[in-house]
Copies of this chain bind each other. A is one copy, B any other.
Amino acid sequence: MARTIGSNGKETEKRVLKEALTLFAHHGYAAVSMRQIAGQCNIQAGALYNYFPTKQSILHGLMLAHMNDLLSALNAQPKVDDPVSALKSFTQFHIRYHIDKPAEVFIAYMELRNLEPEPYAEIMKLRQEYERFLRGILRQGQANGDFQIDDVPVTTMAIISMMTGVNTWYRYGGRLGVEEIEKIYVNLVLSVVGLEAERLTPKLEEIA
């Protein structure tokens, strides 16, 4: 059949990525079929192959876009020299980003094992670049005596896991808004590096 009236390659490609993201986040990459993705885009399965040579390439495209976006956003943050301020900014940034893009974040760490070796290595490199940023802040704060840290590599992973965890339980419209979550996590992270956090008053639990 001829081109559908009003169809547009660029639009369709975006649509495919958008719908695949939602489906992968919901059911998992392996459990989603090309037919399902096409169905959500209101096209036929064959048409997907105009944009992506394989199903794998859709997943790779999504994860690469996410990692690049995350790193760009991080690099676009104002530079801060003082490790304490840097750690606060990083925490706020991470929490906000992970709350704002739950599906992207979710597949970025749930679907890693479904990547073939080469794409896997590429994505892992970008992840490590992100982790290195936090590790740098911790090392700096440890060196100048601001932070009390037993082990920087372990503490780096612990902080990232703690923060990324919001992705699994936070939902808009719940008891706490994004700003409140941010404040709580900034305090949690400051505590982890041995700084006394200013307690939030009134306690957030009492507001709710």
What copy number does this chain have within its complex? 2
Q: Which chain B residues lie closer than 8 Å to A150 at the CB level?
A: 183-184, 187, 197, 199-200, 203-204
B30, B157, B162, B176: the one within 8 Å of A30 (CB): B30
Question: Using a CB-CB cutoff of 8 Å, which residues 57-101 of chain A contact chain B?
Answer: none
A47 in contact (CB, < 8 A)? no
A1 contacts the other chain (CB 8 A): no
- Supposing A31-B114, A113-B28, A191-B194 touch, asked if A162 and B158 sit within 8 A by C-beta, the answer is yes
**Chain A at the B interface: SS class:** helix
Cα of A161 to Cα of B196 in the assembled complex, Å: 22
Min CB distance A177 to B, Å, is 12
Partner of A162, one of B29, B110, B165, B181: B165
